[in-house]
Amino acid sequence: MSLVNTVAAGRLIARRAFLAGVMALAVGLAGCAAGTHSAEFAATWTEGLPADPAVRARAELVLHGNGSLDGTDGCNSISGSWSNAGTRITFSGIRHSALPCPSVSFWILGLATADVTGDTMEVMDSTGAKIGTLIRQ
């Protein structure tokens, strides 16, 4: 085998090893991204009395034990999935209707993550800003 062929074979082996490592990392990260669906968070969470007296509807979010979610802002429906790492909940695949509803606060439609302490869920948008609070029922 010539030196050129030996170098080419070495590069091919290194390339295959690199790709195998990348694939293993991707599979591992996919498992982490999936997270868990802790039964302690599977519950109905509702908004307390809205801060604005003109808002008559209350947000509600139902986290199911299988990782799915559904809820409402008091007019529009919302669905998607959730997972948790400790007390941090991450929402994904969020879909919602977009009805023009008077006297409804639409904050829950912007949910991205939440932190749970006891029976209180502080909901944040994709920038990490707190957008609302839900209470376990």
So what's the pLDDT on residue 92?
96
So what's the pLDDT on residue 60?
94
- Are residues 110 and 84 part of one domain? yes
User: Rounded CA gap, 19 and 41, in Å?
Assistant: 38
Q: Write the CATH number for 120.
A: 2.40.128.270
Instruction: Tell me the pLDDT band of 30, cut-offs 50, 70 and 90.
Output: very low
- Are residues 100 and 49 part of one domain? yes
User: Rounded CA gap, 74 and 137, in Å?
Assistant: 16
Domain count for the chain, please give it.
Answer: 2
Q: Mean pLDDT lowest for which of 18-27, 104-113, 123-132?
A: 18-27
- Are residues 47 and 26 part of one domain? no
- Are residues 103 and 45 part of one domain? yes
- Are residues 10 and 56 part of one domain? no
- Are residues 27 and 81 part of one domain? no
Where in the sequence is the domain holding 9, given as residue range(s)? Answer: 1-34
- Are residues 111 and 96 part of one domain? yes
pLDDT per position as a tens digit, 45-67: 999 765 566 656 789 999 999 99
Q: Read off the pTM.
A: 0.70
> Nearest 5°: CA angle at 118, between 35 and 75?
75
- B/e letters for 62-79, b = 16+ CB within 10 Å, e = fewer, are bbeeebebebbbbbbebe
